[in-house]
């Protein structure tokens, strides 16, 4: 005779097998669950960009385009090394200030990512400015911008992100869009500046790809260290080449105003890759040359070439494809 008491209704034991639509007991199916790495996109959202992630990626593109525009103005008066170092130093101070308010709990890997960004971004900027000064701007600028988009996008694909038709369309169209937006008519042999452009793209894109691995609890202090590491890298290279990098004119010190813009752009990118697929975030944020072109037209009254006009149209198509998901 079974002497076990009858189980009342509402007993805690339930059948182990649930339907496919019941996800309450599976932490791996919930975004932000403890068992899911914070920098990875949940499978249910792969190939889709939420409204928040899209807004952050667009903010990153707007800030990067503004910083690129202002940096170009400063570089004309102070030189490329000063224009590269002073804003990064100001950004380091800005991130440090944010980190004092919300320190976070950075792990050892977060500090390694910061050091990696400093090395990649510093060397990328050196190659970019060297190419712009020695090679053809119409070659260096597009190659560096395309590399900055493709390298982190490939990092997202390596992590298993899916390519939906809309994602594939956005990725394919982003390459000619960025290239056309960055095109600048000039003279000189076509092969000049190619190596510098490729290396600049690998450096800048590699730096962003490294930052996609920051943990959700890293806080802002690793970003301050990343900006400082970029300053050190450029300073060492400038010293070796005996280039002037210390600001000696008012415009050099005015470049510190670019620092907060860089804080906004880089911070938005890091937050965006935590909220959406790295591939799409990289594509949207890499459309920053469109902002630079529009600022040059409205502020400096520069004329837009046919290639840049076509690039603006393709950039709009890319954004629509991303929004369609």
pLDDT of residue 188: 55
Assess whether pLDDT exceeds 60 at residue 2: no
**Which one of 52-56, 72-76, 170-174, 183-187 scores highest in mean pLDDT?**
52-56
Assess whether pLDDT exceeds 90 at residue 270: yes
17: left (phi over 0), alpha (psi -120 to 50) or beta: beta
Give the CA distances from residue 178 to residues 1, 123, 308, 311, in Å, rounded to whole numbers and listed in that order. Answer: 79, 21, 9, 7
Mean pLDDT of 302-321: 85
Does any domain span residue 125?
yes
Assess whether pLDDT exceeds 50 at residue 166: yes
Does any domain span residue 154?
yes
pLDDT of residue 13: 47
Burial of 25 (0-12, 13-18, 19+ CB in 10 A): exposed
pLDDT of residue 65: 87
Domain count, the chain: 1
pLDDT of residue 251: 66
d(CA 272, CA 212): 9
Does any domain span residue 283?
yes
pLDDT of residue 178: 86
With vertex at residue 85, the alpha carbon angle to CA 231 and CA 208, rounded to the nearest 5 degrees, is: 65
Mean pLDDT of 215-221: 90
Residue 219 tokens, joined: 């806080």
Least confident of 74-83, 174-183, 235-244: 74-83
Burial of 149 (0-12, 13-18, 19+ CB in 10 A): buried
Does any domain span residue 33?
no
pLDDT in tens, 23-53: 444 444 344 433 334 444 444 344 577 889 9
pLDDT of residue 107: 92
d(CA 66, CA 294): 10
pLDDT in tens, 68-81: 888 878 877 777 77
Assess whether pLDDT exceeds 50 at residue 297: yes
d(CA 150, CA 206): 9
Mean pLDDT of 162-172: 82
With vertex at residue 207, the alpha carbon angle to CA 79 and CA 288, rounded to the nearest 5 degrees, is: 65
**Which one of 8-17, 118-127, 263-272 scores highest in mean pLDDT?**
263-272
Least confident of 64-73, 91-100, 219-228: 64-73
Least confident of 191-200, 209-218, 274-283: 191-200
Mean pLDDT of 139-167: 84
Does any domain span residue 12?
no
Q: Is 38 helix (H, G, I), strand (E, B) or coil?
A: coil
pLDDT of residue 56: 95
Does any domain span residue 28?
no
Q: What is the pTM of this model?
A: 0.78
Give the CA distances from residue 7 to residues 13, 16, 92, in Å, rounded to whole numbers and listed in that order. Answer: 10, 17, 63
Does any domain span residue 8?
no
Using 50, 70 and 90 to split pLDDT, how confident is the model at 140? confident
Residue ranges making up the domain that contains 238: 48-324
pLDDT of residue 32: 41
Does any domain span residue 7?
no
Assess whether pLDDT exceeds 90 at residue 265: yes
pLDDT of residue 17: 46
């Amino acid at each position: 005779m079974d002497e076990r008491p009858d189980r009342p209704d509402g007993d805690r034991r339930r059948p182990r097998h649930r339907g496919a639509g019941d996800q309450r007991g599976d932490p791996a199916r919930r975004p932000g669950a403890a068992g899911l790495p914070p920098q990875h996109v949940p499978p249910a959202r792969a190939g889709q960009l939420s409204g928040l992630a899209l807004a952050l990626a667009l903010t990153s593109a707007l800030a990067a385009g503004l910083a690129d525009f202002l940096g170009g103005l400063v570089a004309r008066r102070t030189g490329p090394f000063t224009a590269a170092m002073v804003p990064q130093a100001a950004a380091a101070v800005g991130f440090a200030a944010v980190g004092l308010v919300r320190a976070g709990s950075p792990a050892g890997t977060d500090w390694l990512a910061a050091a990696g960004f400093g090395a990649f971004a510093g060397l990328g900027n050196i190659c970019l400015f060297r190419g712009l000064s020695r090679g053809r701007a119409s070659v260096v600028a597009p190659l560096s911008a395309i590399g900055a988009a493709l390298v982190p996008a490939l990092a997202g694909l390596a992590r298993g992100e899916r390519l939906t038709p809309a994602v594939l369309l956005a990725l394919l169209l982003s390459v000619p869009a960025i290239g056309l937006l960055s095109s600048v008519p000039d003279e000189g042999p076509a092969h000049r500046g190619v190596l510098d452009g490729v290396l600049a793209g690998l450096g800048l894109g590699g730096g962003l790809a490294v930052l996609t691995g920051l943990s959700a609890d890293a806080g802002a202090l690793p970003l301050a260290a990343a900006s400082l590491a970029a300053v050190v890298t450029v300073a060492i290279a400038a010293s070796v080449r005996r280039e002037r990098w210390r600001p000696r004119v008012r415009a050099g010190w005015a470049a510190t105003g670019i620092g907060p813009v860089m804080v906004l752009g880089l911070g938005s990118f890091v937050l965006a890759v935590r909220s959406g697929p790295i591939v799409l975030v990289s594509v949207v944020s890499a459309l920053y040359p469109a902002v630079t072109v529009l600022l040059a037209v409205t502020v400096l009254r520069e004329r837009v070439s046919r290639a840049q006009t076509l690039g603006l149209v393709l950039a709009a198509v890319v954004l629509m494809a991303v929004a369609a998901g």
